[in-house]
Amino acid sequence: MTPAERPLSPHLQIYKPQLTSVLSIVHRGTGLALSIGAVFIVAWLAAAAWSDAAFALAQEFWGSLIGQLFLLGWSFSFYFHLLNGIRHLAWDSGFGLDLKTTYATGWSVVVLSLLLAVATFAAGLALRGGA
């Protein structure tokens, strides 16, 4: 049997990307990234608790270029999900729902999470250098 020709609902790709929709999907993406990052933190914790060899390997990984890039991406994901999460909590309480405020808080979240990620990374490099 051939399916009836019913109208389909519009697909995502016909919409022009807007700050609101982009930040919504980035919130989901950073949440997933943080869930994956949590696996690495547990591995690091387990290594610290149980094995010298595994701990040495973990420290080597975090010190490597890939490890450092991972940390930078992870701290951006952290600050973005944190700040945008607070934005969501405000919406849930009925605040900041008009278009102008939504855009203002949206751009603030983007700029602040980038700044905080870079600042945290720089603080890490400075503290590590001083240790």
Partner 1 sequence: MSRDAVRHWRAERISALALIPLTLWFVVLILSHLGADRAQIQGWLGRPIPALLAAALVIVTFYHSALGVRVVIEDYVHAPARLRALLSLNVIASWLLALLALGAIATLVVAG
Cα gap 65→76, rounded to integer Å: 17
Q: Do the beta carbons of residue 106 and residue 18 sit within 8 Å?
A: no
Binding flag, residue 25, partner 1 (CB under 8 A): no
Q: Are the beta carbons of 50 and 104 closer than 8 angstroms?
A: no
CA distances from 54 to 39, 42, 50, 65, 115 (A): 15, 12, 8, 19, 33
Give min distance, CB of 18 to partner 1, in A.
Answer: 20
**Does position 40 bind partner 1 by CB under 8 A?**
no
DSSP 94: T
CB 109 to partner 1: min, Å: 14
Is 28 a binding residue for partner 1 by CB under 8 A? The answer is yes
Q: How many residues bind partner 1 (CB under 8 A)?
A: 30
120 sits near partner 1 (criterion: CB under 8 A): yes
Question: Binding to partner 1 by residue 122, rule CB under 8 A?
Answer: no
Cα(125)–Cα(131) distance, rounded to whole angstroms?
10
The residues binding partner 1 (CB under 8 A) are 28, 31-32, 34-35, 38-39, 41-42, 45-46, 48-50, 52, 55, 75, 78, 82, 85-86, 88-89, 92, 120, 123-124, 127-128, 131
